[in-house]
Amino acid sequence: MEAISIGLLGLGTVGSGVVKIIENHQDKLMHQVGCPVQVKKILVQDLEKQREVFVREELLTTKAEDIIHNPEIDIVIEVMGGVEETRKHLLEALKNKKHIVTANKDLMAVYGSELLTLASENNCDLFYEASVAGGIPILRSLVDGLASDRITKMMGIVNGTTNYILTKMSKYGNAYEDVLKEAQQLGYAEADPTSDVEGLDAARKMAILATLGFSMKIDLDDVEVQGITHISEEDLDYSKQLGYTMKLIGIAHREGEKVEVSVQPTLLSNAHPLASVNDVYNAVYVYGEAVGETMFYGPGAGSLPTATAVVSDLVGVMKNMRLGVNGKSAVVPQYPKKLKEPEEILSKHFLRLHVRDEVGAFSEITSIFSEYGVSFEKILQLPLKKREVAEIVLVTHHASQKAYERILFQLRDLSSVKEVKSSYRVEGSSNR
């Protein structure tokens, strides 16, 4: 029984986890695919570096071509990260008829179409389950488990770093900067956390989810993105008072032929299942026309959870090799891309204003909302310590994005409004 040989690009946190699982689960893998699995070569930057896992010295190389052009290697597992250089390696590997498993959401969000097309042309598999939500098998569920259904909406917490920060800020009242430092010390956040806290990491994942879930090529530029850096302690306090929990939520919503995809801080009703997903955990809520509502929950990052998704993809490739059906699973998007216009995107909104505490100020504000046919679900009005200034907090009923943006524009021009302090999307109704 000839072994299936693997080349590994990268031996960091996830790469080390992949090596551990392949070594420790060899009997399971053998049972699944009917032959041994062996790591033949591993690309590293430094041959002398101390590693989390023991690897024989002869397996290590600093040259990618030792894997990409090695005729004995059947499958390339990419866990090195990066985009441009990694793309070149994978394009070359596919031209050499090597199957690919990757955990690289940055690469797949930008170059996924190109790589999948080349894989199909060369009868190669390209699997990327680990690129979204770590150990949660969400992509496989969309492609296989829910293949017969029509997905109408996906909502998710798909970035563990921001979820950890918002959990600590909400539960314990910790300041954003303090929690970010703590997250960096614990290894949950990078030294440069921009991609996480500005919502870009989540946006890449939502582009991948929307492309698969709606069978429509959604690009990163199609995702409306807002991060968490401007969320204040007051915003979180008012969220609690009104019966909501603040989360960074990715939303992909299809109505008819048109879709919207966004990532933004969102007030979730405390009754919503996503509201109780805390710390570094991820969860994706999927609505299907036939199945109804399903939720996928689990660790969104970490060495072994992510490596589990990588090795699950590896098993998929190896099963296809045994059956002789590699390169047949990539499905070209079925529908042309049609994005909703701003007047077609409907949602509720939370709005916090500082207003001159004078007669007629509130009626001026409400008249602007009335002009666009937008009514209120909740209203709070509180005097501030500053003289002659009141704070007004509103939760609207559903309004179009276009109407709401015009309302904000007019409010900022209103003499009685000193400042629009914050504005967020709202999902669900609280019972308060």
Q: Which amino acid is at 367?
A: S
CA distance readout (Å), 331 to 70, 152, 214, 320, 341:
29, 19, 12, 16, 27
List CB contacts of 323: < 8 A, sequence separation 6 or more: none
- Among 329, 306, 281, CA closest to 79: 306
Provide the annotated active-site residues. 205
CA dist 226 and 241 (Å) reads 23
First to last CA, the chain: 65
CA distance readout (Å), 280 to 152, 229, 315:
26, 17, 27
Q: Give a three-class secondary structure readout of the chain.
A: CCCEEEEEECCCHHHHHHHHHHHHCHHHHHHHHCCCEEEEEEECCCCCCCCCCCCCHHHEECCCHHHHCCCCCCEEEECCCCCHHHHHHHHHHHHCCCEEEECCHHHHHHHHHHHHHHHHHCCCCEECHHHCCCCCCHHHHHHHHCCCCCEEEEEEECCHHHHHHHHHHHHHCCCHHHHHHHHHHCCCCCCCCHHHHCCHHHHHHHHHHHHHHHCECCCHHHCEECCCCCCCHHHHHHHHHCCEEEEEEEEEEEECCEEEEEEEEEEEECCCHHHHCCCCEEEEEEEECCCEEEEEEEECCCHHHHHHHHHHHHHHHHHHHHHCCCCCCCCCCCECCCECCHHHCEEEEEEEEEEECCCCHHHHHHHHHHHCCCCEEEEEEEECCCCCEEEEEEEECCEEHHHHHHHHHHHHHCCCEEEEEEEEEEECCCCC
Q: Which amino acid is at 45?
A: Q
List CB contacts of 56: < 8 A, sequence separation 6 or more: none
